[in-house]
Amino acid sequence: MLRETIRALAESKIAPFAAAVDEESRFPQEALDALVSSDLHAVHVPEVYGGAGADALATVIVIEEVARVCASSSLIPAVNKLGSLPVILSGSEELKAKYLGPLAKGDAMFSYALSEPDAGSDAAGMKTKAVRDGDFWVLNGVKRWITNAGVSEYYTVMAVTDPTKRSKGISAFVVEKSDEGVSFGAPEKKLGIKGSPTREVYLDNVRIPADRMIGEEGTGFATAMKTLDHTRITIAAQALGIAQGALDYAKGYVQERKQFGKPIADFQGIQFMLADMAMKIEAARQLTYAAAAKSERGDADLTFQGAAAKCFASDVAMEVTTDAVQLLGGYGYTRDYPVERMMRDAKITQIYEGTNQVQRIVMARNLP
């Protein structure tokens, strides 16, 4: 039922704008409005904070179905979960009550600010600092590549509170867009997910009350990594949706397109490509849904499974979208058809929330 609901919404209210959002590199406001009006913009927020209380699998299905028509728009539910999960996992009751309500209502979005210009894969090498000053913390630094920066009201920011302790000297904070000293860089000019704003976040003497710290001092990096264990599955879902969208489009096209006097779907060379695409997607789906169940239960092997799902599904998305372009021939290579956008959008899923090399490091350290 959930899938039917979200698919109908995605096809009627999000898909019609996907090409324009990409072409104009603009935020998919229509998608945000449609998702908020159906309460699908942040389904993971627990009911006690006014949310829909969807479990990890339901959240994955929402993201998958939105990504099937518009990958940029799927970053609304995905990054709302990424940004707020540190608060849900480690925040005080006061922080949860204050920040999850507006998120659930659709009054505010949440971003996640871990990466920096010189700290990507090696996120613990961050330089952003937070210094205690009485009942306040003062934050200074630059966060880079922050999805939905400028659009989101709230930011989970990881910062160094004890430079002698590396990852154990990092703490997490909630920073608000309206806090004095917060500003944003120009939107990055990207290959894909052009509708999702990616900007730097500048923290210039941002003075916030001490109770905005998420969890204990020094636990911020652990919270950030624990968050990724759960949210990499949402990136797997995004990849899965992009791949399914490309397969669905190509499947229709090959039945219409005629060469040598018959639909190209009649050629076995084409049929084998479609069979391989569908087979890989189904394998990615099973891995992703199983990982979502593990996320919900908090299973001990979640770290491996989340990394495996993200790595596998994103590689499948890249292969399947590239094959979809191939199936459309020259037409597939133009912006008159959606598959080239899907191929460009697929690429990011191999890079963010840890590159696929980093996923392999994570898997190797947590072999079943």
Answer yes or no whether residue 215 interacts with ligand FAD by CB under 6 A: no
As a whole number of angstroms, the distance between CA 322 and CA 342 comes to 9
Answer yes or no whether residue 51 interacts with ligand FAD by CB under 6 A: no
Of 74, 80, 90, 115, the residue at the interface with ligand FAD (CB under 6 A) is: 115
Active site residue 340: no
Q: Which stretch binds ligand FAD (CB under 6 A): 38-46, 111-119, 207-215, 227-235?
A: 111-119
DSSP 293: H
The residue type of 240 is L
Answer yes or no whether residue 359 interacts with ligand FAD by CB under 6 A: no
Q: Which residue is nearest to ligand FAD (CB)?
A: 120
Residue spans of alpha helices (H) in the chain: 2-9, 15-23, 29-37, 56-69, 71-90, 93-105, 220-256, 268-297, 302-327, 329-332, 339-348, 356-365
Of 112, 137, 304, 337, the residue at the interface with ligand FAD (CB under 6 A) is: 112
Answer yes or no whether residue 74 interacts with ligand FAD by CB under 6 A: no
Answer yes or no whether residue 354 interacts with ligand FAD by CB under 6 A: yes
Closest CA to 106 of 67, 80, 73: 80
Give the distance, in angstroms, between the CA of residue 127 and the centroid of all CA atoms in the same chain: 24
Looking at residues 131 to 190 of the shown chain, list those that interact with ligand FAD (rule: CB under 6 A): 145-147, 190
Given the complex with ligand FAD, which of 249 and 314 has the nearer CB atom? 314
Answer yes or no whether residue 15 interacts with ligand FAD by CB under 6 A: no
Q: Which residues contact 231 (CB under 8 A, 6 or more apart)?
A: 78, 81, 82, 85, 353
Answer yes or no whether residue 120 interacts with ligand FAD by CB under 6 A: yes
- The single residue listed with the structure tokens 């069979």 is 275
* Contact set with ligand FAD (CB under 6 A): 111-115, 120-121, 145-147, 190, 193, 198, 348, 351-355, 357-358
Looking at the annotation, which residues are catalytic?
353
